[in-house]
Amino acid sequence: MDHTPLTGDVGRLARQVRAALDGGPAVAPLPRLHDAEPPAGTALVVRTSGSTGAAREVALGAAALRASASATHERLGGPGRWVLTLPATHVAGLQVVVRSVLAADAGVPDALVAAEPDAHFTPDALAALLAPALADGAPVHVSLVPTQLHRVLAAADAGSPAGLEALTRCATVLLGGAATPPPLLARATAEGVGVVRTYGMSETSGGCVYDGIPLSGVRLRLAPPDPALDLSGPRSALAHPAPDKALGHTALSAPRGAMAPPGPDKSRLGVGVVEIAGATLALGYLGDDLATAGAFRTDADGVRWFRTSDLGAFAAVTSTGSGQPGVLSVLGRADDVVVTGGVNVAPAAVEAALAALAPAVLGVPAAEPCVVGVPDDEWGQAVVAVVAVTGGPAGLDAVGPDALAQVRAAVAARLGAPSAPRRVYVTGALPLRGPGKVDRRAVAAAAEAAGR
């Protein structure tokens, strides 16, 4: 097995990935956690971000990686040049490398353009990276996380538009790794950025659902959630969706709904845990047969499914062209749901509301909110919001009572009183983990400490 260190040359990694896809030694871009030998056919050993607990090692087969990259090119209209801005140690960055290998095989010149492994992301650095990739008119695809896109737009607002101008020239900007606030998506789209929202994880070879529609060969279904999480009653803030026509989709929580095309309440087909099947699934977890058996299950008809940790819903449409019952809306992680006063509140809904309200209520043009639950003697958990704004403090600053009252009233009017944050803090940046994902545990710990 080849081991490419974190600071290793990306060109070397690409050569190793190509060899692995062709049956060569499996590549592990991070030091191995287990001594277990990968199963036959493994091309990559990818470490999960650890957002569900301890990090695991996922064995990704060459066939799964090729299926994922080929389906991506099919959805995007053909191979193109790929620009790597994400760490090539996690599945999102590694899939950029895999896609570039297939694109090179299809005749795309200089199919991979990559930042230095330890380069710090800035909008100007992104512009400099994209400039040579865009020089010859070849279609250019780039993968970003929402935090990166937020920074590009914030820089443009501050008078440095180079990063945004470069993104508008890209054929596709894949956006994944975390939920995309609706105002961020709307702003980027209005500026001419070709955003495609992706959903997936290490266990599915990266993004396998684009804009709510699974890639070719991928199947979705919703399974019953944990019985301890009541999603059916009127006191659940996950229930009773209603469309938000102003945003062109819904913004999950009672009395409003999940991100989905607008439509009446009857268009929602229920909330459940997202399960995924198809050729892109991983072979399993290395050194953890119990976890593999729990996450990957084969039905009586022989179809193998991966059970995610995410809640989802389908919005009914006439046809998605994929054989699915509707467009998937990912409502957030099941274990992120905040139970406050006996009511289930979905952080994603409150975050979407706060992002939309930020200009009017917080007086900032763009904001990146994170909503968490912190222990509370009266409510069990209190809904607390930490909002990152450009030029904000290094720590957490509580907003004043007047601003808090405005936020609470606005969120309550939009989502219902239980969803209204009981405390709101402003900060300069949210802590991240993995490939740009917000570290919710760190945010919750900081919010809890700030409230003492």
Model pLDDT for residues 294-309, shown as the tens digit of each residue: 999 999 999 999 999 8
- CB-based contact 44:71 (threshold 8 Å): no
Instruction: Please write the tens of the pLDDT for every residue from 95-123.
Output: 999 999 999 999 999 999 998 777 788 99
Give the pLDDT band of residue 84 (cuts 50, 70, 90): very high
Delimit the CATH 3.30.300.30 region(s) of the chain.
338-450
Domain 1-229+259-331 has CATH 3.40.50.10210: no
CATH superfamily of this structure's domain 338-450:
ANL, C-terminal domain (3.30.300.30)
Residues in the chain: 452
Mean pLDDT check: name the lowest of 129-138, 179-188, 281-290, 405-414: 179-188
- CB-based contact 69:102 (threshold 8 Å): yes
What angle, 0 to 180 degrees and rounded to 10, lies between the N-to-C axes of helices 10-21 and 62-76?
Answer: 110
- CB-based contact 27:43 (threshold 8 Å): yes
Strand bridging mode 437-438 / 432-433 = antiparallel
Q: Which two tokens stand for residue 258?
A: 């999940």
Residue 246 has pLDDT above 50, yes or no: no
Delimit the CATH 3.40.50.12780 region(s) of the chain.
1-229+259-331
Which residue stretches of 77-224 are H helix?
91-105, 123-133, 146-157, 162-167, 182-190
3-state secondary structure of 381: strand
**Among 228, 249, 258, 246, which residue's Cα sits nearest to residue 350?**
258
Dump the DSSP string for 281-337: ---EETT-HHHHHHHEEE-TTS-EEEEEEEEEEEEE-S--SSS-SEEEEEEEEGGG-
Q: How far apart are CA 49 and CA 42, in angstroms?
A: 20
- CB-based contact 405:423 (threshold 8 Å): no
pTM as predicted? 0.77
